[in-house]
Structure 1
Amino acid sequence: MAFPLLPGSEQNGQSRPAPRRGLRVVLLGAVATAALTGALTTGFVSPHSAVAETAAPIAAQAPSASPVSFADVVDHVRDAVVSVKVKITETADASDDDDDNSDSPRPGQIPRLQPGDPLERFFKRFGQPGMPHPGGPGKPHSAQAQGSGFIISSDGYVVTNNHVVEKATEVTLTTDEGKTLHATVVGTDKKTDLALLKIKEDGSYPHVKFSSATPRVGDWVIAVGNPFGLGGTVTAGIVSARGRDIGAGPYDDFLQIDAPVNRGNSGGPTFNTLGDVVGVNTAIFSPSGGSVGIGFAIPSETAQSIIASLKDKGAVARGWIGVQIQPVTDEIADSLGLKSSKGALVADAQDNSPAKEAGIKSGDVILGVNGERVDGPRDLAKKVAALGPGKKADLLYWHDGAEKTVAVKLGSLPDEKEAAKPAALQDNSALAGLGLKLAPASSVQGAGNDGVVVADIDPEGSAAQKGLRVGDLILEAGGRAVSKPSEIAAIIADAKKDGRKAVLLRVKSGEGTRFVAVATNPAS
């Protein structure tokens, strides 16, 4: 059974999960359904200016021993924590109700009701999934979402999650005392799920500050927020782990905490016992929809730099070298003559990219950036993104059995619209659907010059079910000799357009040469 990370913001009392990826879990929900999509850094951007602090931040004294009570800390911080409510305008889509052509409800969805059912009017009134929206299909309608946030400066800057305020047409904040304030969205960053708001009303507001110390596993933490729309709520626990990758994006670096957080806690702060913010609550891992003691928070060191960039420019700029990378398996390391599996294998270098211009090629392994060794693809992406566009970086890489160094001038990470444009790398969706990652045989030492090597494979993917394994050499696809992954992807795509259900691969392995039929539409 897959246990989803359930949304932390609520819309009309109902949260919808975001698309699944990575560990088969879902990030905390979107403002009324917007999901966090993966891409770059968890805040490794040098701030150009500090977030405004015109008054002494709220802080409590550290206890001399494990606290008997958190009441003093809570008294110091609770006035800076707010409930965030947003209004958005959506267009009802028939696919919301009928996309699965099934009468079975999706998780969190009510069963379909027959016309005249006594419950029909109740659910229609509250806009539940599975019921027609007022005004009919395709008509714009208002929706609400809610979460949590916290004030970080006396002049009223507020931190929350991007998915809480994404697509918002109106944002209101409610303080612990019940006062309602209006706010504008200064900037958002989908890649780290962070957003910065500014209170419209003038005034000097109670606020908290980010911690300058990294919490240790086992340290006490306190989560404050607005679970289930109940209002200010406090829970306590410990830091369970650091550096968690939950499949939210290529730069996951979450704190795992066991302080109970639930729907509506999204964007709320996690404090240490000094009253400093050590994390921004973002996701939970749960089979039931409620807390089971596994929550995830964006670390303060990530949030600080992202928020500073949002305040300064309204957006976050990240460095980019333009390579598609993948982990180095033990088999790949051995075939390339590497002593360890650390580093990032370049599956392809994009045309006109900084890496391509510097001579980085498919089959090279990037080992370090500016003298710091790279553990894997995620670590490389963080380091490059942190440097920012226009900066120079010395890349240490493995090429033809030897280490080399090259200077690269970093570009700017393309936005999502640019990244979605057709390109050689985007042509390989067919391979991703099969659960395959391929590399030209010529780039893998000992594989020869003909064919394409299976560099990595999803053990649950359709290709693995057909018997393909890491290290297999694909010589032909659809009766044609191949030497590049893109050629196989193109052949599969053409076969799909022609209505064929499968493509025949000629595969060479340790057991000999054989043919394997792979589906052109693995999901079907």
Structure 2
Amino acid sequence: MAYRGGCAAFALLAAFAFDAFGAPPPDFTDVVKRSTSVVVNISSTGKAGRLASDAASGDDEEDEERIDEGSDSLGTGIIIAADGYLLTNQHVVENADEIIVRLADRRELPARVVGSDARTDLAVLKVEAQGLPTAALGQSDALDVGEWVLAIGSPFGFEQSVTAGIVSAKGRSLPTEPYVAYIQTDVPINPGNSGGPLINMKGEVVGINSQIFSQTGGYMGLSFAIPIETAVDVAQQIRAHGKVSRGWVGVLVQPVNRDLAESFGLDAPRGALVSKVFDGGPAAAAGVRPGDIVTSFDGRPIVVSSALPPLVGQLSPGRQVPLVLLRGGREERLSVHIAELPEGDPLAAATPHPDVPERAANRLGLRLGPVPPDLARLLGLGSGGALVEAVDNDRATRAGLRQGDVLSMLNGNPLEGPEAFDRAVEGLPTGRALALLVLRRSGPAYLALRIP
């Protein structure tokens, strides 16, 4: 009786949901029938490499799983050309000695890597076949948040598994891949789904499932897919040139929070705050300065800082584009030349912590000292600045300041030294928001701190 009562209650709830929303739950069967033929299972054998565990949490060392010599890595891919070109994630085939692709008709074919791109985690494969069905490609820009989407893949080796969910957000930026504006969904993704398609209700591929954000290593409701436009552009460049070229203007940017907006005289947080301008880069030649806030790039408004790197990266080197920024509360219009993104990472690792001498803390709870010459050269600091030797205040810690930071600017003005900083802070009113430009070996950043 309890079982029947439960069924009745469920039926009542379903009927209520039908009446409340005016439509039945979606039926994915037609979409799946039209889509499965273009989805392939990929298995690779080779040297130790990253498994398709897809963890995108903050600690790479803990979340990254590795496979031993000779073990298998399972993933998914889609057919993008009838003559045997496939698209998948790079980490599915990374360091592989042998790659086997299983088609929907159960044929198994050896594959070779045509090329790959680490910055987007994409790879193009080739199998020797003709007349293959190809994926219908949609437009990720046309997706609406809340729209139904589904994934097809091989989670834990269970081929052609279908899961469904909705688009949770668009244009998401992850710390490790700033040049991809990810589609966030709640579609269940597990190891083996990597490289598989994200499909809309028209049966069109709108993304390549790539990562999950997890604190356990398993699915926790946050999945990320590479927009299909990005994936196709990467695939076309790899096939045509064997590599991927991206635009570069030579700046590092960061978000503008409420306190930073106040310290820069903005009515609300918006734009991309320039924390570093690389010497000799296009932005430096155009006149961009640290502390500028980019509000428009190439005619497109920049509301959040994460929107800027993908816009720059998708441009072809050689173009000249307009740039609108705020400087000292006034709007400036510049023109910047797009260069090619250099190979490698221009930033080094974390800043080492110096020995802490006994100095008195200032009004903000910071113990400051002069910047050692070798550290100043490493950070590109010409003169002045103040080294944070200790942080004795919870407010400063919460703002992000830490031992080893070098303070180079206060509210847009260069710091001549620790004494100059202490004098400037002593003369400011209580509650005033400060904008501090902090230099670290991992990169510069603006931090906001209020006078207690």
The TM-score normalised by the length of structure 1 is 0.59
Match of 2:45 among 78, 87, 102: 87
Change (3 A) 1:484 1:236: closer
Q: Of 224, 237, 245, which residue of structure 2 is paired with 1:309?
A: 237
What SS does the corresponding residue of 1:351 show, helix, strand or coil? coil
Once residues 231 and 473 of structure 1 are traced to their aligned partners in structure 2, the CA distance between those partners, rounded to angstroms, is 48
**Alpha-carbon spacing, 1:508–1:209, altered in 2? closer, same or farther (3 Å):** farther
Give the Å deviation of 1:151. 0.6
The alignment status of 1:222 with 2:150, answered yes or no, reads yes
Contact 2:172 2:306 in 1 (8 A): no
Structure 1 residues 298 and 465: alpha-carbon distance in aligned structure 2, compared to 1, 3 A threshold: farther
Partner-residue secondary structure (3-state), 1:197: strand
1:209 to 116, 133, 136: 136
Whole-Å separation in 2 of the counterparts to 1:429 and 1:156:
48
- Structure 1 residue matching 2:351: 3-state secondary structure: helix
Q: Establish whether residue 76 from structure 1 lines up as the match of residue 45 from structure 2.
A: no
Within a 5 Å distance, the mapping from 1:39-54 to structure 2 comes to: none
**Contact 2:181-2:307 within 8 A present in 1 as well:** no
What amino acid sits opposite 2:191 in the alignment? Answer: R
Show the counterpart of 1:156: 84
1:149 offset after TM fit, Å?
Answer: 0.6
Q: Distance in 1 between matches of 2:260 and 2:401?
A: 13
CA distance in 1, matches of 2:294, 2:63: 42
The alignment status of 1:374 with 2:332, answered yes or no, reads no
Q: Using a 3 Å threshold, how does the CA distance of structure 1 residues 358 and 147 change in structure 2: closer, same or farther?
A: same
Kept after mapping to 2: 8 A contact 1:346/1:366? yes
**Segments of 4+ in structure 1 off by > 6 A?**
106-109, 469-474, 503-506
Give, in whole Å, the separation in 1 of the partners of 2:161 and 2:269. 46
Cα deviation, 1:237-296, whole Å, max 9, x if unaligned, reads 332333334444224532233332211110111222222112211122445554444322
Give the whole-Å Cα distance in 2 for the aligned partners of 1:280 and 1:256. 11
Tell me which residue corresponds to 1:359.
287
Alignment RMSD, CA only? Answer: 4.1
- Conserved? CA contact 1:210–1:277, under 8 Å: yes
Deviates more, 1:371-380 or 1:346-355: 371-380
Closer/same/farther in 2, CA of residues 221 and 364 from structure 1, 3 Å limit:
closer
Identical pairs, percent: 37
1:241 equivalent to 2:163? Answer no
**How far apart in 1 are the matches of 2:311 and 2:132?**
36
Q: What residue in structure 2 maps to residue 385 of structure 1?
A: 313
Aligned positions, number: 360
- Which of 439, 462, 468 matches 2:396? 468
TM-score (norm 2): 0.68
1:149–1:505 distance in 2 versus 1, CA, 3 Å: farther
Hey, what does 1:408 align to over in structure 2? 336
Q: Specify the SS of the correspondent of 1:403.
A: strand
Distance 2:97 2:423 in 1: 58
Deviation by residue 1:292-350 (Cα, 9 ceiling, x = unmatched):
44322222233232222222222221111112222233333333333443222222211
Mapping for residues 11-410 of structure 1, pairs under 5 Å: 69-90=27-48, 141-199=69-127, 201-212=128-139, 214-410=142-338
- Distance of aligned partners of 1:198 and 1:405 in 2 relative to their CA distance in 1, 3 Å threshold: same
Cα deviation for residue 83 of structure 1 reads 0.8
CA contact (8 A) 1:471 1:509 kept: no
Mapped to 1, the partners of 2:63 and 2:348 lie a distance apart of: 31
Q: Counterpart in 2 of 1:54?
A: none
Separation of aligned partners in 1, 2:77 and 2:64: 25
Deviation at 1:192, TM superposition (A): 1.7
**Structure 2 Cα separation of the partners of residues 177 and 273 of structure 1:** 23
Partners of 1:176 and 1:316 lie apart in 2 by 30
Distance 1:263 1:85 in 2: 12
Question: Match for residue 496 of structure 1?
Answer: none
Q: Which has the higher contact order (CA 8 A, sep 6+)?
A: 1
Change (3 A) 1:247 1:407: closer
Cα distance, 1:66 vs structure 2: 5.8
Instruction: Quickly say closer, same or farther: Cα 1:430–1:506, change in 2 above 3 A.
Output: farther
Q: 1:453·1:473 contact (CA, 8 Å) conserved in 2?
A: no
Check 1:238–1:466 CA distance in 2 against 1; reply closer, same or farther (3 A cut): closer
- The alpha carbon displacement at 1:512 in A equals 7.7
Deviation for aligned residue 1:505: 12
Q: CA deviation at 1:353?
A: 0.9
